[in-house]
Amino acid sequence: MEHQVVHMVVIVACAGVFAQWIAWRFRFPAIVVLTMLGLILGPVSNVVDPEAIFGDLLRPFVQLAVAVILFEGGLNLHWHELKDSGKGVRRLISAGLILSFIFGSLAARYVGGLSWPVATVFGAIIVVTGPTVIMPLLRQARLRPRTASILKWEGIVNDPLGALLAVVLFEYWVSSGPNTHGIGFGFELVAALFAAAATGAAVGYGLGKAYPRGIVPEYLKGPMMLAAVFLVYAIGNMLHEEAGLVSTTVLGLVMGNMRLPSIDELRRFKEYITVVLVSGLFIVLTANLKPDLLAEIDTRSWMLLFLVIFVIRPVVIFLATIGADMDIKDRILVGWIAPRGIVAAAVAGAFSIKMIDAGYSDAVKLLPLIFALILLTVTLHGFSIGFVARRLGIASEHQNGMVIVGASPWSIELAKKLNEMDVPVLLVDSSWHRLRPARLAGLPIYFGQLVSESADETFDVSSMGYIFAATDNDAYNALVCTRFANEFERQRVFQLPMPSQAQHETKGFTPALRGRLAFQDEAVDEEILRRYFQGWRFQKTKITEEYTFENYLADVEEQNFARLIIKANGDLKLNHEIVPDAGDTVINFLPAKPAEKA
């Protein structure tokens, strides 16, 4: 048995990471790949049988994992995001939740044919659109910040609230005793929620004050934060079942908005854990799905699922956001995107059997309905979010733009050339004077420090795929690249080379503390600027089957001082070692052609 558990954990962990890599490599929605892989390992091949191996430990494992995921989601919620989307978010987590519950319950009763107890529990579960499914979709779609923050806030806040609503209704219909009815029951629930939230806030505030004072060493900050998540979750659940989800969410929200000096490292630590947990949980839960469950879904059940996805969600969003500060494009996308995930599956799995034992025979449909809803929404919304967002104009068609940090004569020249090639470009500088030529040329600019708190709130990189630190300060270039390496991915973060190859060992920066080096080693800022004032300019040339790269090198006399490549599909390549193919365009920094050769 011990070996079986070890083998199961190894298979699930490796399969989850492999699925994430497949999704990244081929640009598939990660949630869809994880779901399909879980079905293959479970119901199709029976390689993985979580319930038989883990037994009673499966549900506690799922609960703790969900608590960590919700904490990580709260850690990424920022109060400044509510400046633009605050009213819309408040409507979604209040009126939207209530309307979704009411309409879902009515549809389950009169369309799905479920009894009122099962119908109301179903209506409570479907309000959940948690971070386990929303965050991977947002990472894939690269929406504009306003739209992404709306979906993120709704998913993270509604996750514990929906689970708690389901718990309350479940206890109301199943439990017996004086405390399960009336005002006393409602007061007990509200008091437990406030106490759970206060617990999370108090622990988060305490850690947030202790970390900057050096009370906790750097190497213990991440582990202590993880232990705090488990602690507040356990305390919250002691107050009321599933109230621990509120505790962990508030804990993350408080710590994420305390402006801790090490918050980026803590977020990265939690993100790594969350990716592994999300991957493992989706595979485990889908592998645990029994094929005969879907046989319980009849025609009325399919009609109910159709209403939930295509009618109830859009209607609820449009009604809840009337008069809110959400434009029609955001309302359309949010009305369509509502994938259900781990929390919905966990709650349905925990309640269905108990409701059957309590005498509600139609509760046998609860689990297959929720799992079918998860599979449908994950597939439909996972594959369509990028397409729908791009058609609405709230996501970039391609993330191939470049952020150029540092406005100098030659970097402005490069930005102009990229702009001519329809490559999105954004020039960033803290000097209004240095940005003046770019403004006069009609180039998009960002005035300010890119590593400031203000930039965290206002800097929109939804259409940008690369960042190029091109200031005359090597240390600042390295700082910018280190700051954005996780957001852009390290292979897309570049900076100018250091002063000379010989100085890299003693005066340069280690690769972990800087970006990738663009251009050749001698292409430092002073040398590029010197050649610019000698008449050198960025010139573009199309490589074809007839005019090969070898022909091009012969014409430019092997000049590859500062070269970029725009691939035929629009992708940028700054690595000077890459050889362009036919159909690619080379942008090279070359001396001006003589008049007779021009």
User: How high is the pLDDT of residue 367?
Assistant: 83
Q: How far is CA 343 from the centre of its chain?
A: 17
Supply the pLDDT for residue 596: 39
In what side-by-side order are the strands of the sheet with 401-405? 445-447, 425-429, 401-405, 464-469, 493-495, 516-517
In this prediction, residue 598 carries a pLDDT of 37
* Phi-psi group of 320: left, alpha or beta (phi > 0 → left; psi -120 to 50 → alpha; rest → beta): alpha
Output the six-digit token pair for 269. 């630590």
CB 378 within 8 A of CB 35: yes
326 sits in the region (left: phi over 0; alpha: psi -120 to 50; else beta) called beta
293 vs 449: CA distance, rounded Å: 56
Structure tokens at 200: 């999370």
Rg of the Cα atoms in the chain: 27
Helix (H, G, I), strand (E, B) or coil at 416: helix
Overall pTM > 0.75: no
Whole-number Å distance between alpha carbons of 73 and 252: 7
Q: Distance between CA atoms of 266 and 269, rounded to whole angstroms?
A: 5
Taking a C-beta distance cutoff of 8 angstroms, is the pair 401, 425 a contact?
Answer: yes
User: What value, to the nearest 5°, has the Cα angle with vertex 509 and ends 488 and 435?
Assistant: 55
- Between the alpha carbon of residue 32 and those of residues 22, 283, 431, the distances in Å are 11, 11, 46
Antiparallel, parallel or unpaired: β 563-566 and 585-590: antiparallel
Q: Which of 82, 163, 153, 168 is nearest to 127 (CA)?
A: 163
Provide the token pair at 402: 């470049």
Is residue 427 within a helix (H) or strand (E), and if so which, with residue range? strand 425-429
Q: Are strands 464-469 and 585-590 parallel, antiparallel or unpaired?
A: unpaired
pLDDT of amino acid 177: 43
pLDDT, mean of each 10-residue run, the chain (598 residues): 78 89 79 84 84 78 81 75 68 88 94 92 86 72 78 79 77 58 63 88 92 87 91 89 82 86 78 82 79 77 94 93 84 89 75 81 87 86 86 74 90 90 87 89 85 64 80 87 80 81 54 77 86 89 88 78 82 77 88 55
The DSSP string of 479-501 is HHHHHHHHHH-GGGEEEPPPS-G
DSSP state of 143: B
Give all strands (DSSP E) within 283-400, no chain letters.
none
Spatial distance between the Cα atoms of 220 and 197, rounded to a whole number of angstroms:
25
The half-sphere exposure of 521 on its side-chain side, counting CA atoms within 13 A, is 6
Q: What is the pLDDT of residue 308?
A: 94
pLDDT of residue 302: 92
State the Cα–Cα distance between residues 221 and 159, nearest whole angstrom: 26
* Kind plus residue range of the DSSP H or E element containing 533: helix 525-533
